[in-house]
Amino acid sequence: MLLVALAWRSLRNRALLSVLTVLSIALSVALLLGIEQVRVGVRESFAGTIKGTDLIVGARGGTTQVLLSTVFGMSAPTGSVSWATYERWAAHPAVKWAVPYALGDAHRGFRVIGTTAAFFERYRFRDRTVTFVAGGPPTTDAEVAIGANVAERLGYAVGSEVVLAHGLAAVSFAEHGAHPFRVSGVIAKTFTPIDRALYATLEGLTVMHEAEAASGGLMMGPPTAPTTGPAPITAFLVGTKNRFETLQLQRELNEDRTEPLTAIIPGVALAQLWQTIGSAEVGLRVVALLTLLVGILGMCVALYASLEARRREMAVLRAIGAGPRTIVGLLVLESALLSLAGALAGTALVYGGLAVARGPVEARFGLALQSHALTSVEWGILALVVGAGTLVGLVPAWRAYRASLADGLAPKL
Amino acid sequence: MTSTAAIAIAGVTFGYGAGRSVLDVPTLEVHRGERVFLHGPSGSGKTTLLGLIAGVLAPRTGEVTVLDAPLHTMSGAARDRFRAAHLGYVFQMFNLIPYLSVRENITLPCRLSAARRERAGDPAAAAARLADALEIGPLLSRPVTELSVGQQQRVAVARALIGAPALVVCDEPTSALDADRRDRFLELLFTQVTAAGSTLLFVSHDLGLAARFDRTLALGALNRAAAVGDPDAATTATTSAA
Ligand SMILES: Nc1ncnc2c1ncn2[C@@H]1O[C@H](COP(=O)(O)OP(=O)(O)O)[C@@H](O)[C@H]1O
Ligand SMILES: [Mg+2]
């Protein structure tokens, strides 16, 4: 009781120094928790690149390749999937919806994708739907919707005339002016690969191929079906009626006898991909660790300085008969209180800051900063800060005790 | 059972760390109720001797018996408890805890020692009584940072005397005071020490105060380690030889 009273009075007496110490601890804690939040946010944003789709089905190939070609528009598709196969699976009783997805063409470095209007309804990223800042999805075979980056970089707007070409080269030598497209809509920024793509209808894509074939252009995209009927696609997205049936359906798709397919669960594939390319996360972790180190060191210096200035006081307490436990207890209690207050203030700062910054940060960087409860890592950080703050009090406490034994009764200092 | 000696030192040597001996005192005795004036030049080891008597320092060899307690055999913690219960200590300056009020500073020993609290009765009332007697009554609720040096020293005396410790030790308590204040301070100190029935060991280099005490001790005469490398002691020795 005496200790608490003394510690409290002493901290209040040096209010400015106490507040500054708490502030410096709070800032390190806020920085640490902030970095942790960003780390989790980056991971969740990545994981949120595609949501709501239970399975992505492509021609037989690697999981990562199906994911990269379909969701990220990177790497070549694993092959083509016939329209008949798509229709067969779309009618499967476990399938709630299926969206065809044809990839392969490019326009000045941006991917062109053929799909249906359902794509814009079904596709989710970070639990959001695709919206248009202007216009809407393509409705005819001469229309194309464009991502935000495409609009920005190429200066297209609704109504712009666009000549689409085969291949991924920025300047294609097989441009086919025979079939120009008109921009039907500009998609609102998603911070996902959608921003870097153009979306035509399936028929639009087919017409484009035919025009190309007629003009003797080079074939670089997926092979066109020689038969009549809709052209083959490169993948299709599936939503299941019941989440529990997803695994069963995945197995069935992978064992399709008529056409070799690979069905992937986007969430799982994204998590796998993140593990292989997650070095950014490691980097953030290293930064966080260094910050923690510097923060705790700074806190130790602040606490130590404030305690060193009080050796005289310790000498007086010793002369009155305070034992080592009282002296050590007092100093340790003070540093514990300071670091605890710092940890609390830092946590409050982060959550307050998140509440304010969440909107702007998502709008500007597409980073979803969720205000989740403290993770075990964050609890660990707080415990470490308070623990280190308490322990650092032991050092000057012990020194003060030793010093007061040795020279405390001298009137100097 | 209770001897008449408040302080009995026998064959004590002491040095800081592994350094040379600062003190080598074959014998020193102070009787109960006595008021003893101890003087010696600066750096001669007066404060060090008080540290040994207060049990803050432990001797290298020899016996330090205070109020019949053999400090040289006791643990550090036991000496701390003993000091809290039976000793009042006044420094030359900076005696007070800056973040406590005058009243809280005076009653602090009662919070550290049950014995002091019991003897004081109601600590707040005891503090008020002492403060009145020492003419600092109106200052009780003030923060100590607002006090003059003379007022601070009186607060220190009140704190040393609350709960009537059997031994009061003052280490040059008047050296920061001017002559008028010094005399008044001594007067008040004596009155209160007498009222509490305490033994007083008063250290100063100011020999002008010696006449008021029962007995005067020169540390130079008690301390065999003093002559070693101490220019003041060497001069004294030469003078006495001539
Ligand atoms: N904490 C200490 N560590 C080492 N030497 C000390 C310490 N305190 C005092 N001394 C030395 O011990 C001697 C006696 O000091 P002190 O007892 O303070 O003398 P006085 O009180 O008579 O002025 C001096 O030489 C001083 O330098
Ligand atoms: Mg001294």
State the average pLDDT over residues B211-238. 68
Q: Give the per-residue pLDDT at A169.
A: 41
pLDDT digits (tens, 9 = 90+) for A259-272: 999 999 998 988 88
pLDDT digits (tens, 9 = 90+) for A348-362: 998 888 888 877 877
State the average pLDDT over residues B193-208. 89
Q: Please give the residue that has the higher pLDDT: either B149 or A279.
A: B149
- Of B186, B162, B187, B50, which is closest to residue B105 (Cα–Cα)? B162
Distance B50 CA to ligand 1 centre (A): 11
The percent of residues above 70 in pLDDT, for chain B, comes to: 92
In sequence order, the β-bridge partners of residue B215 are B36
Secondary structure of chain B in the HEC alphabet? CCCCEEEEEEEEEECCCCCCCCEEEEEEEEECCCEEEEECCCCCCHHHHHHHHHCCCCCCEEEEEECCEEHHHCCHHHHHHHHHHHEEEECCCCCCCCCCEHHHHHHHHHHHCHHHHHHHCCHHHHHHHHHHHCCCHHHCCCEHHHCCHHHHHHHHHHHHHCCCCCEEEEECCCCCCCHHHHHHHHHHHHHHHHHHCCEEEEECCCHHHHHHCCEEEEHHHHCCCCCCCCHHHHHHHHHHHC
Chain A positions with Cβ closer than 8 Å to B: 2, 6, 9-10, 12-14, 312-313, 316-326, 404-406, 408-411, 413
pLDDT band at B240 (very low <50, low <70, confident <90, very high): very low
Q: Give the per-residue pLDDT at A262.
A: 92
Flag if B172 and A317 touch (Cβ within 8 Å).
Answer: no
State the average pLDDT over residues A161-176. 56
Of B47, B57, B109, which has the smallest distance from its Cβ to A321's Cβ? B109
pLDDT band at A283 (very low <50, low <70, confident <90, very high): confident
pLDDT band at B4 (very low <50, low <70, confident <90, very high): confident
Distance B223 CA to ligand 1 centre (A): 14
Per-residue pLDDT at B165 exceeds 50: yes
For a pocket test of ligand 1, which of A314, A401, A407 has the largest count of ligand atoms closer than 8 A to its C-beta? A407
Distance A143 CA to ligand 1 centre (A): 96
Flag if A324 and B83 touch (Cβ within 8 Å).
Answer: no
Q: Please give the residue that has the higher pLDDT: either B240 or B118.
A: B118
Give, as one character, the DSSP assignment of residue A163. Answer: -
Cβ of residue B21 closer than 8 Å to a chain A Cβ: no
Per-residue pLDDT at A161 exceeds 80: yes
Question: Residue B22 phi/psi, 5° resolution?
Answer: -90, -35
Per-residue pLDDT at B234 exceeds 80: no
Q: Give the per-residue pLDDT at A371.
A: 65
Per-residue pLDDT at A227 exceeds 60: no
CA A230/CA A52 separation, integer angstroms:
27
pLDDT band at A378 (very low <50, low <70, confident <90, very high): confident
pLDDT band at A186 (very low <50, low <70, confident <90, very high): very high
Indicate the SS3 state at residue A53: coil
For a pocket test of ligand 1, which of B12, B13, B20, B22 has the largest count of ligand atoms closer than 8 A to its C-beta? B22
Q: Please give the residue that has the higher pLDDT: either B128 or B226.
A: B128
Which distant-in-sequence residues (6+ apart) come within 8 Å of B146 by Cβ?
none
State the average pLDDT over residues A210-221. 53
Q: Which atom belonging to ligand 1 lies closest to the Cα atom of B48?
A: 17
Distance B187 CA to ligand 2 centre (A): 22
Distance B67 CA to ligand 1 centre (A): 25
Cβ of residue B113 closer than 8 Å to a chain A Cβ: yes
Q: Please give the residue that has the higher pLDDT: either A171 or A212.
A: A212
State the average pLDDT over residues A286-290. 78
Q: Please give the residue that has the higher pLDDT: either A306 or A233.
A: A233
pLDDT band at A170 (very low <50, low <70, confident <90, very high): very low
pLDDT band at B235 (very low <50, low <70, confident <90, very high): very low
Residues of chain A contacting B57 with CB distance shorter than 8 Å = 405
Flag if B94 and A411 touch (Cβ within 8 Å).
Answer: yes
State the average pLDDT over residues B21-38. 92
Least confident interval from A6-15, A64-73, A123-132, B134-143: A6-15
Q: Please give the residue that has the higher pLDDT: either B53 or A388.
A: B53
In chain A, what are the domain boundaries? 2-46+282-408, 55-264
State the average pLDDT over residues A71-89. 87
Amino acid identity of residue A332, one-letter, is V
Q: Please give the residue that has the higher pLDDT: either A226 or B161.
A: B161
Per-residue pLDDT at A178 exceeds 80: no
- In this structure, which ligand is nearest to the CA of B233? 1
Q: Which atom belonging to ligand 1 lies closest to the Cα atom of B44?
A: 22
pLDDT band at A7 (very low <50, low <70, confident <90, very high): confident
Q: Give the per-residue pLDDT at B168.
A: 93
Q: Give the per-residue pLDDT at B67.
A: 92
Q: Give the per-residue pLDDT at A173.
A: 46
Q: Give the per-residue pLDDT at B199.
A: 93
pTM equals: 0.68
Per-residue pLDDT at B65 exceeds 70: yes
The percent of residues above 90 in pLDDT, for chain A, comes to: 16
pLDDT band at B61 (very low <50, low <70, confident <90, very high): very high
pLDDT band at B239 (very low <50, low <70, confident <90, very high): very low
Which chain A residue shows the shortest CA-CA distance from B53? A319
Indicate the SS3 state at residue A369: coil
Residues of chain A contacting B54 with CB distance shorter than 8 Å = 319, 409
pLDDT band at B215 (very low <50, low <70, confident <90, very high): very high
Q: Give the per-residue pLDDT at B220.
A: 86
Residues with CB under 6 A from ligand 1: A 406-407, 410; B 16, 22, 40, 42-48
Q: Which atom belonging to ligand 1 lies closest to the Cα atom of B46?
A: 22
Of A10, A322, A326, which has the smallest distance from its Cβ to B99's Cβ? A10
Give, as one character, the DSSP assignment of residue A195. Answer: G
Least confident interval from A98-102, A229-233, A238-242, B207-211: A229-233
Q: Give the per-residue pLDDT at A165.
A: 59
Average pLDDT, chain A: 80
CA B230/CA A213 separation, integer angstroms:
112
